Structure 1
Amino acid sequence: MLDVQNLHVWFGQSHNRVNAVKGVSFNVPRGESFGLVGESGSGKSTILRAITGLIETWSGDVSVEGEKVQGSRRSRGFYKKVQMVFQDPYASLHPRHSVDAVLSETLRLQGMTDIDARITKLLDAVGLGKGFRFRYPHQLSGGQRQRVAIARALAAEPELLLLDEPTSALDVSVQAEILNLLADLRRERGLTYVMVSHDLSVVSHMCDRLAVMRGGEMVEIMDVATLRSHQAASEYSRGLIQASLGYERAS
């Protein structure tokens, strides 16, 4: 579904250039959920933004379902296959647009018809009733806003969802609800996920395989069984796993 080879992403030019992603390669088969983990600034979210065309300065080979992606421009066909859910649902929704306006605009841009019926189905799919249709983002909780953002991503009927820390801006009490929703949607719709997270417990719950990032480079790729058994190959990955277990008081 997704193939990334030798991806480099940078910001600035000449002596001001910062290399944010350095020669990263991975592939994600159809139906898999693949995680990108690492410390803040390791390049995880930058990879997703380069794939979707939100960053222009990149090189390498990126293919979606065998179709090569080039430059920063993406075709309408690309966005029918690939959609992204961002970290902060309030920032990613227009504050003056109702839920109805957000979903209607997305559906029209994708060339969809029967807008009213589709909006009802999308709200049902993410666990929001029709009573939410004409509310504005400030009238919604964080979890409800993220459900709207997920509905917007689903409006194009994509096959690949890029999830950029989709629960990190939410209260702990609603994080599990959103993760369970995403797991259900993946199973019901046969979706493929690439999920960025700094939380290894989230990745362990949601993903089949994961890549560990450090300083813009990919340290290793492992399956989730390796993560759960703390059997990572690299010392850095083992340290990351150990740190995720929390503070242990010395005896």
Structure 2
Amino acid sequence: MNMLEIKQLDVWFGHGHNRVDAVKGAEFSVPEGESFGLVGESGSGKSTILRAITGLAPEWSGGITVNGERLGKQRRKSFYKTVQMVFQDPYASLHPRHSVDQVLGETLALHGFRDIDARVVKLLDDVGLGQKFRFRYPHQLSGGQRQRVAIARALAPEPKLLLLDEPTSALDVSVQAEILNLLVDLRKDRGLTYLMVSHDLSVVGHMCDRLAAMRHGEIVEIMDVAALRGMQAQHAYSQELLQASV
């Protein structure tokens, strides 16, 4: 079964002469349990696809189906129990005046969980932080620790699909591998499906089973990770991306 299906997706901003077509005719599917990457230069439309899925890009047409349910323009509350997103910048995605306990506890309460204390502790353990971080504030955490909290928040509703928008690009190189390995372990342990945006092909090669190369809002090629590692792209633009990453 496909966890995510995208068909003839167009996303645009503005109207008339001011209209900008950010995504044009995108099509791909992600089977349950797979990790799928979107790669390309800045402005190629990768993150816009994630925003369309979550409802943050209101102007779109085409088909978006998540876990068998065709999405309309509005997202129901149940959608956010299935789909969660981890943003690029852990500094901006956490409220500076909310402790880790508040961040996780409020998310759990919002989704109707009752055993909140036990769940907060387990979430912190699952992302490799532990209870000692429970009552700290974002300014007391490193970038990697903040991103672990952001990942714990995304896991709180027990989603099936995680959207990962450059989840390590704002972090120090020494921390990036730790977060990527955490995400690999979580996917295996929880049976998660990932849709991951990255400009770094080495990250995609480590994290993903398949990937789509995007240019100027269009998907120019879909390949499996074996083709990526073997430098066997078919499209000229994909070949350029691979050569630039060597």
TM-score class normalised by the smaller sequence: over 0.9
User: Distance between the aligned counterparts of 1:102 and 1:221, measured in 2?
Assistant: 37
Q: Does 1:184 align with 2:185?
A: yes
* Residue-by-residue CA offset, 1:73-110 (whole Å, 9 max, x unaligned): 21111111100000001101111111011001100110
User: Distance between the aligned counterparts of 2:196 and 2:210, measured in 1?
Assistant: 10
User: Distance between the aligned counterparts of 1:55 and 1:19, measured in 2?
Assistant: 12
User: Which residue of structure 2 aligns with residue 50 of structure 1?
Assistant: 52
Q: Does 1:155 align with 2:181?
A: no
Q: Does 1:142 align with 2:139?
A: no
| Runs of 4+ residues deviating >6 angstroms | none
User: Which residue of structure 1 aligns with residue 229 of structure 2?
Assistant: 228
Percent identity over the alignment? 76
Equivalent residue of 2:113, what SS?
Answer: coil
User: Which residue of structure 2 aligns with residue 249 of structure 1?
Assistant: none
User: Which residue of structure 1 aligns with residue 239 of structure 2?
Assistant: 238
Please report how far the alpha carbon of residue 65 of structure 1 lies from its aligned counterpart in structure 2 after TM superposition.
1.1
Please report how far the alpha carbon of residue 172 of structure 1 lies from its aligned counterpart in structure 2 after TM superposition.
0.1
Which amino acid in the other structure matches residue 28 of structure 1?
V
User: Distance between the aligned counterparts of 1:76 and 1:125, measured in 2?
Assistant: 25
User: Which residue of structure 1 aligns with residue 130 of structure 2?
Assistant: 129
User: Distance between the aligned counterparts of 1:97 and 1:12, measured in 2?
Assistant: 35
How much is the aligned-residue C-alpha RMSD, in angstroms?
0.5
Q: Does 1:27 align with 2:29?
A: yes
Gaps of 5+ in 1: 246-251
Please report how far the alpha carbon of residue 55 of structure 1 lies from its aligned counterpart in structure 2 after TM superposition.
1.1
User: Distance between the aligned counterparts of 2:94 and 2:60, measured in 1?
Assistant: 27
Residues 3-82 of structure 1: matches in 2 within 5 Å?
A: 3-71=5-73, 73-82=74-83
Equivalent residue of 1:15, what SS?
Answer: helix
Which amino acid in the other structure matches residue 106 of structure 1?
T
Please report how far the alpha carbon of residue 28 of structure 1 lies from its aligned counterpart in structure 2 after TM superposition.
0.1
Which amino acid in the other structure matches residue 58 of structure 2?
E
Q: Does 1:100 align with 2:101?
A: yes
Residues 105-124 of structure 1: matches in 2 within 5 Å?
A: 105-124=106-125
Equivalent residue of 1:87, what SS?
Answer: coil
- How does the TM-score come out when normalised to structure 2? 0.98
User: Distance between the aligned counterparts of 2:150 and 2:209, measured in 1?
Assistant: 24
- How does the TM-score come out when normalised to structure 1? 0.97
Which amino acid in the other structure matches residue 38 of structure 2?
L
User: Distance between the aligned counterparts of 1:12 and 1:61, measured in 2?
Assistant: 20
User: Which residue of structure 2 aligns with residue 202 of structure 1?
Assistant: 203
Gaps of 5+ in 2: none
User: Distance between the aligned counterparts of 1:76 and 1:117, measured in 2?
Assistant: 23
Please report how far the alpha carbon of residue 69 of structure 1 lies from its aligned counterpart in structure 2 after TM superposition.
0.5
Please report how far the alpha carbon of residue 139 of structure 1 lies from its aligned counterpart in structure 2 after TM superposition.
0.6
Equivalent residue of 2:78, what SS?
Answer: helix
Equivalent residue of 1:237, what SS?
Answer: helix
The total of aligned residue pairs comes to 244
